[in-house]
Structure 1
Amino acid sequence: MFPETPAAAAALSVATRHYSPALLNHCVRSYLWGQMYGTAHGIAYDNELYYVSAVLHDIGLTEAFDSHRLPFENAGGHLAWVFGIAAGWPAERAARVEEIIVLHMRADVSPAADPEAHLLQIATSWEVVGRRPEEFSPEVRAELLVRYPRLGFGTEFLAHFQDQARRKPGSAAAASVDKNVAGRIAANPLEGHPPT
């Protein structure tokens, strides 16, 4: 299920240290939703690269790595590049993890153009606002949410986005707040799942 590589293990260690429990579970679920979607749609992708991107995609929202100027996805992408280089990846591979994290907050990317960014967009938009619910059966949702519960993720994530919007009014997070991300989070079918 999870890639068993030194870089994957190190990414999870970084995430475990710096994320809240709700953000950590969100990032792990994002990897798993994307993996399920990719398998169902026959999308070939680099599993380690996707895993590291998914696990670190919100690191720019954490207190330790938040930038006072850069949107969270750019700050997180820069950190992920540093992570990739420190993990011994070639510069091109480190640049890919940065690109995937930045792209997950941009306009839709096709699987042909960038399969890893496509999977992260699918997974995070499902996680946050419930986009494409037909892709994930109620049984699969229930099983995954028992293993990795939301722990108040919607409320916490909305607070992060509202904070980003106040401090970085030109960011994608600010645009999401302007487009009623609060209402879309509240309407997400995953938010109604009973807590465990």
Structure 2
Amino acid sequence: MTPGESQVTAGLKAVPAPQELIPALPEDPLTRRALHLVIREESAPIAHHSIRSALFARLLADHRGAEPGRDYDPQLLFLACVLHDIGLSERGNGRQRFEVDGADAAAAFLTEQNLPAGQVDAVWEAIALHTSPGIAERRGTLCAFVRAGVGMDFGRDTDFVSDATGAAIHAAYPRLSMTTALVDEVVAQAVARPEKAPPHSFPGGVLHERTTPPYRAAIEERTAAARWGN
């Protein structure tokens, strides 16, 4: 572990809330390097969103009685969640939808880290499908939990999460107007490269909403009215 990785990991552990309320971040070298990558390459609102999504996904797995190592791989769940928006970074910004660019960037990173090809492919699929309702849920536990964990950070299906746990997660990783920041970044990429926002895709939808009256994406309205707010 490099000095920079040590500082990042130490910072992420500085949770100003009861630690027992929040699932522990993985301690293995690969997930520490993934965290370091996300903190370094993504904007703070997106990095915090990615980490919260991983925490929510783990809470959901526990709530549903899924057993780590039997029903799902906790390392792959964390990696897929924490890297799911790496396509919004400069490192991951290519010429495809941000979800697919992000899946490619995550796969390249994990391959460099010597993760087995089958596991890399599983993470790729979960990231590529995380904005695809009705598909991700039918592609296995990993895809389903990643999409659900991301959705929970937008306020969906969070009734089982206590107020104390929600407050602890958000004290550790503040929202920083996450939804608006995310839409801003998706739209900026799409304006620069229109091929990144094909019709009927999530990027295509928010680009259309932001460029026609009232110039606000529906996901911003929904999240603002949801449990956690923007």
* TM-score with structure 2 setting the length: 0.75
Tell me whether 84-93 or 130-139 shows the greater mean CA deviation: 130-139
Runs of 4+ in structure 1 over 4 Å off: 176-179
**Aligned letter for 2:203?**
A
Among 11, 34, 37, the alignment partner of 1:11 is: 34
**Distance in structure 2 (CA, Å) of the matches to 1:183 and 1:161:** 16
Change (3 A) 1:176 1:136: farther
Q: Report the counterpart of residue 58 of structure 1 in structure 2.
A: 85
Amino acid at match of 2:31: A
What is residue 229 of structure 2 aligned with on the other side? 191
In structure 2, what is the Cα distance between the partners aligned to 1:176 and 1:151?
19
SS of residue matched to 1:65 = coil
Q: Which amino acid aligns with 2:65?
A: G
1:4, distance to aligned residue in structure 2 (A): 2.1
Aligned to 1:169: 197
Query: Does the CA contact (< 8 Å) of 1:84 and 1:93 recur in 2?
Result: no
> Corresponding residue for 2:184?
159
Question: Whole-Å Cα distance in 2 between the matches of residues 103 and 29 of structure 1?
Answer: 18
- 2:107 aligns with 81
Shift of 1:48: 0.7
Alignment of 1:141-152 (within 5 A): 141-152=166-177
Task: Give CA-to-partner distance per residue, 1:143-165, whole Å, 9 cap, x none.
Answer: 11111111221221121233355
Q: Which amino acid aligns with 1:117?
A: C
Please tell me the root mean square deviation across aligned C-alpha atoms, in Å: 2.0
CA distance in 2, matches of 1:175, 1:99: 21
Q: How far is 1:85 from its partner?
A: 1.2
Normalized against structure 1, the TM-score is what? 0.87
User: Which residue type is aligned with residue 181 of structure 1?
Assistant: I
The percentage of counterpart residues that share the same residue type is: 28
Q: How many angstroms does 1:116 deviate by?
A: 1.6
Number of aligned residue pairs: 189
Partners of 1:85 and 1:65 in 2: CA distance:
15
Unaligned runs of 5+ in 2: 1-23, 210-216
Counterpart-to-counterpart distance in 2, 1:19 and 1:156: 11
1:99 and 1:189 mapped to 2: Cα distance? 29
